[in-house]
Amino acid sequence: MGLIRSAEPDFLPGTLEMLILQTLSRGTNHGYGIAQHIQQISQDALKIGEGSLYPALQRLLLNDYVVAEWGLSENNRRARFYKITAAGRKQLAQEKRNFDALLAGIARVLETP
């Protein structure tokens, strides 16, 4: 019996937001650009659909971890550009520490016979 994979990966709570903040720590970007960057860097392992991406961006906006303004994309289409805030950088650092601790815990369980 094999695993059935959905089109979109399952994320641990907060993981998608962490990946978005990490992407934005490189510079301002629009939603499609954020999703493309994550997909490219993950070598197609992580494909973020609009149904996940935009609600996560909205949560980040509501928490003041990002700010947004309208502008033109590379192909002259109107797009909302997102930028990480100081609070977002602080949150990203905390999320990375939490994620590292979680991975270490999972690794310990997997290494135990």
pLDDT in tens, 18-29: 999 999 999 999
Look at residue 39 and tell me whether its pLDDT is greater than 90.
yes
Give, in words, the CATH class of 15-111: mainly alpha
> How many other C-beta atoms are found inside a 10 Å radius of the C-beta of residue 99?
14
What's the order of all strands across the beta sheet hosting 29-30? 29-30, 78-84, 66-72
pLDDT at 9: 53
Alpha-carbon Rg for the chain, nearest whole angstrom, is 16
pLDDT for residue 3 is more than 50: no
Report the run of H or E that residue 66 belongs to, with start and end. strand 66-72
* The two three-digit tokens of residue 51, written as one number: 């149904």
Q: Where in the chain are the domains?
A: 15-111
Instruction: Choose among 31, 20, 7, 34: nearest CA to 91.
Output: 20
Handedness of CA 64, 88, 101, 13 (dihedral sign): positive
pLDDT score, position 27: 97
pLDDT, tens digit (0-9, with 9 covering 90-100), for 43-81: 999 999 999 999 999 999 999 999 999 999 888 899 999
